[in-house]
Amino acid sequence: MQMTTDHKLTMEINKIFIQVGAGAGDLDSRAGFRDGFSEMVKSYQIKSSDRIILVEPNPKNIFALRKCWGDYSVAEIYEVGIVPKKATGHSLVFYYSELDAPHYQVGSFNPTHVIKHYPNQKIQDLTQIVVSSIDLESFLTKTVGCNLIEILCLDIEGLDSEVILDTDFSLFNIRFLSIEHLHLGIQSQAVVCHLEQCGFSKSGNDVDHNGFDWMFIKVN
């Protein structure tokens, strides 16, 4: 991944890298065995004082995710779904299509999001599992607190705008924030304004090699 000098992540002691919606990491053949977050983190010399935090709600992806990060003892995998505050702490129905096998990249608590990718299926055709949930603020507070987050990458299938608009990012010490913009829809501008109010400025580069993400940098 190429990044301009002013956007390149500064490597310091006790760096924390967080990916919400980690999927199968860089083990999905349909993505050419590429994942922007994985490529970025693996391009650096990770030390024992660093942390790599991976959040993935679909149990079907956990084996591949563990294999992806098997050489990194500092990798932590949390099998939980990130949701808006109104749903936090509940066990919720999570939907995915078996057509998405073997690595399920578009699973969501919002079934219409899955149908958007597989329009020939109906909601009753989707596999349903029960997944525990937590809102982003609570998750970050419990796992990192006030410690510096070098980068937080968000890919919350079908709930991106809801979760982002529901989160006060100014409460946390985040250097870079990367979000997937593909499904923000009419909330795109509201999301950008919210992040600006939280002290971020939209940057030119992103983490995803496909260009599906927007990068924000903390400016105040």
pLDDT digits (tens), the chain, 220 positions = 333 334 444 445 689 999 999 999 999 988 888 999 999 999 989 999 999 999 999 999 999 999 999 999 999 999 999 999 999 999 999 999 999 999 999 999 999 999 999 999 999 999 999 999 999 999 999 999 999 999 999 999 889 999 999 999 999 999 999 998 877 889 999 999 999 999 999 987 677 777 778 999 999 8
Residues 15-39: tens digit of each pLDDT:
999 999 999 999 998 888 899 999 9
Q: How many angstroms separate the Cα of 49 from the Cα of each of 74, 91, 186?
A: 8, 33, 41
Q: How far apart are CA 13 and CA 47, in angstroms?
A: 8
Is-contact 177 216, C-beta < 8 A?
yes
Res 6: pLDDT:
41
**143 with 168: CB under 8 angstroms?**
no
Tell me the pTM. Answer: 0.90
pLDDT for residue 173: 96
Determine the pLDDT at residue 13: 60
Residue type, 96: Y
Spell out the domain ranges in the chain.
Answer: 5-83+134-218
Tokens 């924000």 -> residue: 216
Level-2 CATH architecture, domain 5-83+134-218: 3-Layer(aba) Sandwich (3.40)
Strands 81-83 and 174-180: unpaired
Q: What per-residue confidence (pLDDT) applies to 32?
A: 86
Residue 37 and residue 19 in contact, taking contact as beta carbons nearer than 8 Å:
yes
What is the model's pLDDT at position 161?
94
Q: What is the structure's pLDDT at 182?
A: 79
